[in-house]
Copies of this chain bind each other. A is one copy, B any other.
Amino acid sequence: MRFVLTRIKTQMFRFEIIRQSTKSSARLGLIHTSHGTIKTPAFIFCATKANIKGLPIDYVKGSGTQVILSNAYHLMLQPGSGLIKRGGGLHSFLSWDGPIFTDSGGFQIFSLGHGSVSSEIKGTRFGDRRRTLLRVTEEGAEFRSYIDGRLIKLTPELSMQIQMDLNADIIVSMDECTPYHISKLYTANSMEKSKRWAMRSLTEIKKHGRFEEQALLAVIQGGVYRDLRQESAQFANDNDFPGFAIGGSLGKTKSEMYDVVAMTADMLDKQRYKHLLGIGGIEDIFEGVRSGIDTFDCVAPTRMARHGAALVKRRELSNQSQKIMNLNNSAYLEDFSPISESCRCYTCQTYSRAYIHHLLKAREVLAGGLISIHNIFTMNRLMSDIRSALELDRLEEMRSDWGRTNT
């Protein structure tokens, strides 16, 4: 397979709306990239450190995956983006010939820096990880590598250079990612800084990169505040970013999150591509699609798999009071049926719940891999179902089949 990936093929990035719903902001679209076309709405799976944990890439492809995401932050620290570039880019490195999305690295720096921003964004808890962020200036963010302790200053320009080295198809401007508990004033100042950083990112890729081919998304900040979101959106609309990534704090509750996402998406140029950063529960996806979000990324489907949780429709759970199928549960000890009778994934075609339960009890890593295959396949099936429903403009009608389930 390696030799196939060395081919040179370029195509201008282009987002195309195939069908606009008449009932909501939902739309069916196509994202054309040098590494193929993504049918949207789509889910982007996290290959954080250049791999989806435990899975040979064939299983990622075989489960219907269109696009994966790697983290500039982790790859910058190890093995280094220069090394990946010298090896032919990230596609070749991890042997994936489809589209790749990378983030700017900013999120992880601030997440590790402040504790856990991720939890805060979702309004859950304040983490207590070791803080590695040293200083944020107008120029960029200084932090210590979690690998060897060396001092690194990440600037918008460096983030672009890293993402250009990696040669991802969709890339993200560096922003300051603020936690929920900060003041409106801090949020406003931070949003202004993120605008300046996005502008520097745009300048950098136009000067040194292939702007037409690597789509740079502007991160939309502003927390839960309408006026700040409006200002951030206006800035992005006024510049020639090919798309947008909604980031920053989305509030304390699910309901507040849906409102902030809908409000923000509504402020953005309807013709351009919109990504929602780091959110991907099944209900969240339905709400996001209704608001006009085209792609989602989230570690949940594979992370929960490693802890033994399988994504299934509510009606497939024997105990309706449960929210997920936790295969650690002794209810599955002697259950020789597949995770889902209706699922055509490799895992469901090959193994039983009892077998996976055994692997979990025996602490065998294969358990996480097998459930990941199922969860990836299931998320792709969900997105495919959503696209089919949008063809008929009947999103709400199919929602009850999937909705209110397990994430």
The answer to the question of A329 belonging to the interface, with a C-beta cut-off of 8 Å to chain B, is no
Instruction: Pick from B83, B352, B358, B366: contact of A53, CB below 8 A.
Output: B366
On whether the beta carbons of B352 and A83 are closer than 8 Å, the reply is: no
Copies of this chain assembled into the complex = 2
On whether the beta carbons of B53 and A86 are closer than 8 Å, the reply is: no
The answer to the question of A127 belonging to the interface, with a C-beta cut-off of 8 Å to chain B, is no
Please judge, given known A-B contacts A87-B352, A354-B79, whether A369 and B334 are in contact too, CB under 8 Å: no
Q: Which of A54-62, A171-179, A184-192, A214-222 contacts B (4 or more CB under 8 A)?
A: A54-62
On whether the beta carbons of A57 and B336 are closer than 8 Å, the reply is: no
On whether the beta carbons of B54 and A350 are closer than 8 Å, the reply is: no
The answer to the question of A1 belonging to the interface, with a C-beta cut-off of 8 Å to chain B, is yes
Q: CA of A59 to CA of B56 in the docked complex: distance in angstroms?
A: 10
Residue of B nearest to A355 (CB): B93
Q: CA of A349 to CA of B2 in the docked complex: distance in angstroms?
A: 7
Residue of B nearest to A86 (CB): B334
On whether the beta carbons of A1 and B350 are closer than 8 Å, the reply is: yes
Complex interface bits, A354-378 against B, C-beta within 8 A gives 1, otherwise 0? 1101110110111001100100000
Instruction: Pick from B49, B349, B354: contact of A87, CB below 8 A.
Output: B354
Residues of B within 8 A of A87 (CB): 334, 336, 352, 354-355
Bin the interface of chain A by size.
35 or more
Least Cβ–Cβ distance between A205 and chain B, in angstroms: 26
On whether the beta carbons of B351 and A95 are closer than 8 Å, the reply is: yes
Please judge, given known A-B contacts A2-B338, A94-B355, A352-B87, whether A366 and B55 are in contact too, CB under 8 Å: yes
Residue of B nearest to A351 (CB): B95
The answer to the question of A145 belonging to the interface, with a C-beta cut-off of 8 Å to chain B, is no
Residues of B within 8 A of A2 (CB): 338, 349-352
The answer to the question of A279 belonging to the interface, with a C-beta cut-off of 8 Å to chain B, is no
Apart from A53-B365, A58-B350, list 13 A-B contacts with CB within 8 A: A1-B349, A49-B362, A49-B364, A50-B358, A53-B366, A56-B59, A56-B373, A58-B346, A78-B362, A79-B333, A79-B357, A87-B334, A369-B369
Most buried by B among A1, A74, A357: A1
Q: CA of A366 to CA of B358 in the docked complex: distance in angstroms?
A: 21
The answer to the question of A88 belonging to the interface, with a C-beta cut-off of 8 Å to chain B, is yes
On whether the beta carbons of A83 and B359 are closer than 8 Å, the reply is: no
The answer to the question of A51 belonging to the interface, with a C-beta cut-off of 8 Å to chain B, is yes
Instruction: Pick from B57, B83, B338: contact of A333, CB below 8 A.
Output: B83
Q: CA of A354 to CA of B391 in the docked complex: distance in angstroms?
A: 44
On whether the beta carbons of B350 and A56 are closer than 8 Å, the reply is: yes
On whether the beta carbons of A88 and B366 are closer than 8 Å, the reply is: no
Residues of B within 8 A of A1 (CB): 349-350
Query: 6 closest A-B pairs (Cβ-Cβ)?
Result: A79-B358, A49-B362, A87-B336, A365-B365, A95-B350, A1-B350
Q: CA of A2 to CA of B79 in the docked complex: distance in angstroms?
A: 41
Most buried by B among A1, A350, A358: A358
